[in-house]
Amino acid sequence: MNSIERQTRWKQQKAITAEKLALARIVLDEIINGAEPIEALRDNPLPGGGVLTKAALVAAYHEMTTRGELTPDPALLARIRMKPVRTLSGVTTVTVLTKPYPCPGKCIFCPTDVRMPKSYLPDEPGAMRALEHDFDPYRQVRARIEALEALGHPTDKIELLILGGTWSAYRRDYQEWFVKRCFDAMNVTSVESSEGQGERCAPGELIAAQALNETAPHRNVGLVIETRPDEITPNELTWLRYLGVTKVQMGAQSLDDRILEINKRGHTAAETLRATALLRAAGFKIVLHWMPNLHGATLQSDRVDFSRLWQGYCPDEIKIYPNQLLANAELYEVWKRGEYHPYSTEELIDLIADLKPTVPRYCRINRVIRDIPSTNVVEGNKRTSLRQDVHEEMKQRGTRCNCIRCREVRGTQIDSSTLRLDDLVYSAAHAEEHFLSFVTPDDRIAGFLRLSLPNTNSPDVGMRDLQGAALIREVHVYGQSLPVGAEGNGAAQHIGLGTRLLQHAEQIARAHGFQRIAVIAAVGTRQYYLERGFSRGELYLVKEL
């Protein structure tokens, strides 16, 4: 632990009074001796009423381990951790927002607030944190990591999610500086303010920060940006790889050109298809946003439109964002004229409960509603718990969703001898996709790999690393995120599934006549692949078969 991390830990502990820390040590001792955390907290109430927070238990744990009074025990920390689901997917997500900046889009459903990047509202949770830190990337990342650590979450494997309208519309010197400062925060190398630095970095600074992150305390295992389909070009993809991007979110919104035009989206469905083909040919993971209840759509047309997602586009992940009527969007004036009618909550639940079971097993549904506070919604659904409502409806119907999120093993212990390897083959635009997954007897996913085999019509993205190569677009092993090098008893992340998936991918690529295989490695995962026979290319890691 370096000096900056020690100072952070000290600040977290000092924020909890000595009285609470002493009580937390008592509660922690009872938990060590077998008591359930909730019961131990209730049995030791605060003098003025109420109970301790789990953050106090985590602070006591860190104090005792630092002093040598307690041997570090990941299992104990997992028991007292708050909201463990945040890291049960195997990584810890940190979300940051870019500063307000003009967006090329003119979408009528998009809210406009001068304080925020286009489409975001200042009282959304992630946006509130960004506003609090004046959109400074370093401060946003550090604050989020410190908050997660205070709750007992491991933070050595970070998926960095950069939000804020259309990333590609920002100046490139700002993009480079923003990403570099995020890496600084993960590397814990600088606490200096960004003020006065001109929001740009000197030549080579980003590359140096990336190199440092390969062995840093908080390694970047995924870097995500969001942009528009009409911004995707071979040149843009080369730039994204230079920055370290591995996953791209795009607003498809609809795959019906009439609906896109009515809502002034500014691109066609064909442009979305072309963008997904380019991203796939460059090895990126693809996330599409889809919006039911756009102006001009109906419940039936949305059902038809959703089915188009699996016809060539074939996203790896989707976010379902039902259109929400907001007073600071152009759509509000359309509604006032009586030309637009939002779906009711019941209609949305019925619609999504119909659609969820149709999602292919290779796709993950990340969200089914945006986290917009209900006070901003003029009319229509105001429930942010829509996912739970849909699951309850499906339970009553006796249907199930087979998306990745609904089948993750999460914290379940795994017996590797019972796993079967599935190879789900499907066709996407100009590529044959293999979704390799290790599945438990009860159909839970322990780990998966996405292998893309470009065909002769695959678009040329102009990167030498990828010439004649099969592409590994993602390797993901599930279970509670554990520190690098840590062992978990039966944890999926630590029984060698990743290595076995890579071996199977190589066999498939070789059988299809490919002589090399490339992986779109995040900066913090480079060492993992180098240890498994890959070599450094210009923008990818490559292995000759």
Cβ atoms of 403 and 472 within 8 Å: the answer is no
pLDDT of residue 56: 79
Please give the average per-residue pLDDT across 148-169, as a whole number. Answer: 90
pLDDT of residue 308: 98
Report the range out of 5-9, 60-64, 100-104, 134-138 with the highest average pLDDT: 134-138
Cβ atoms of 481 and 529 within 8 Å: the answer is no
What's the angle, vertex CA 481, arms to CA 539 and CA 68, rounded to 5? 120
Please give the average per-residue pLDDT across 516-545, as a whole number. Answer: 98
**Cα–Cα distance measured from residue 177 to residue 201, given in angstroms and rounded to the nearest whole number:** 5
Please tell me the least confidently modeled range out of 2-6, 24-28, 507-511, 539-543: 2-6
Please tell me the least confidently modeled range out of 101-105, 256-260, 305-309, 514-518: 101-105
**Cα–Cα distance measured from residue 470 to residue 458, given in angstroms and rounded to the nearest whole number:** 12
Question: Strand 431-439 and strand 420-428: pairing?
Answer: antiparallel
Please give the average per-residue pLDDT across 64-85, as a whole number. Answer: 75
**Cα–Cα distance measured from residue 211 to residue 542, given in angstroms and rounded to the nearest whole number:** 18
For 33-104, where are the alpha helices, taking DSSP H only? 37-43, 54-66, 74-80
- Using CA atoms, how far residue 173 sits from 176, 197, 199, 418, in Å, is 5, 12, 7, 50
In this prediction the pTM is 0.86
Domain 241-407 identical in fold to domain 416-544: no
In the β-sheet with 516-519, what is the strand arrangement from edge to edge? Answer: 420-428, 431-439, 445-454, 469-477, 516-519, 541-544, 535-536
| Residue 4 reports pLDDT greater than 50 | no
**Cα–Cα distance measured from residue 161 to residue 90, given in angstroms and rounded to the nearest whole number:** 15
- Beta-carbon contacts of residue 224 (< 8 Å; ≥ 6 apart): 159, 160, 161, 162, 245, 246, 247, 248, 249, 287
| Residue 394 CB coordination number (10 Å) | 19
pLDDT of residue 6: 46
> What is the per-residue pLDDT across 372-424, written as a single tens digit (0 to 9) for each?
888 999 999 999 889 999 999 999 999 999 999 999 997 778 888 999 999 99
| 443 Ramachandran zone, left/alpha/beta (phi>0; psi -120 to 50) | left
Q: If you ran DSSP here, which 8-state letter would residue 23 be given?
A: H
Q: Among 25, 28, 38, which residue's Cα sits nearest to residue 76? A: 28
Mean pLDDT score of the chain? 89
**Cα–Cα distance measured from residue 318 to residue 292, given in angstroms and rounded to the nearest whole number:** 13
Cβ atoms of 246 and 520 within 8 Å: the answer is yes
Q: 416-544: CATH homologous superfamily? A: Gcn5-related N-acetyltransferase (GNAT) (3.40.630.30)
Question: Strand 247-253 and strand 92-97: pairing?
Answer: unpaired
> What is the per-residue pLDDT across 318-355, written as a single tens digit (0 to 9) for each?
999 999 999 999 999 999 999 999 999 999 999 999 99
Cβ atoms of 313 and 255 within 8 Å: the answer is yes
- Beta-carbon contacts of residue 310 (< 8 Å; ≥ 6 apart): 360
Higher per-residue confidence, 34 vs 442? 442
- CATH number (3.40.50.300, 3.30.750.200, 3.30.70.890, 3.20.20.80) of 241-407 reads 3.30.750.200
pLDDT of residue 49: 73
| Residue 385 CB coordination number (10 Å) | 10
Confidence bin at 457 (pLDDT 50/70/90) = very high
Q: If you ran DSSP here, which 8-state letter would residue 382 be given?
A: -
Please tell me the least confidently modeled range out of 14-23, 107-116, 206-215: 14-23
Cβ atoms of 120 and 164 within 8 Å: the answer is yes
Cβ atoms of 241 and 206 within 8 Å: the answer is no
**Cα–Cα distance measured from residue 526 to residue 522, given in angstroms and rounded to the nearest whole number:** 7
What's the angle, vertex CA 30, arms to CA 27 and CA 34, rounded to 5? 140
pLDDT of residue 466: 98
Let me know if 203 is exposed, middle or buried by CB neighbors in 10 A (0-12, 13-18, 19+). exposed
Q: Among 332, 351, 345, which residue's Cα sits nearest to residue 380? A: 345
| Residue 83 reports pLDDT greater than 60 | no
Question: Strand 469-477 and strand 445-454: pairing?
Answer: antiparallel
- For tokens 């990342």, what's the residue? 141
Q: Among 296, 351, 354, which residue's Cα sits nearest to residue 322? A: 351
pLDDT of residue 326: 95
pLDDT of residue 89: 55
Cβ atoms of 60 and 24 within 8 Å: the answer is yes
- Percent of the chain at pLDDT > 90 equals 70
pLDDT of residue 10: 41
- For tokens 């003098």, what's the residue? 47
Task: Please give the biggest Cα pair distance in the chain.
Answer: 72
Q: Which amino acid is at 27?
A: V
Q: Among 271, 347, 344, which residue's Cα sits nearest to residue 303? A: 347
- Using CA atoms, how far residue 544 sits from 152, 467, 506, 517, in Å, is 41, 12, 10, 6
What's the angle, vertex CA 359, arms to CA 445 and CA 519, rounded to 5? 55
Classify 431 as helix, strand or coil: strand
Q: Among 296, 272, 286, 275, which residue's Cα sits nearest to residue 108? A: 296
Domain boundaries, the chain: 3-82, 85-227, 241-407, 416-544
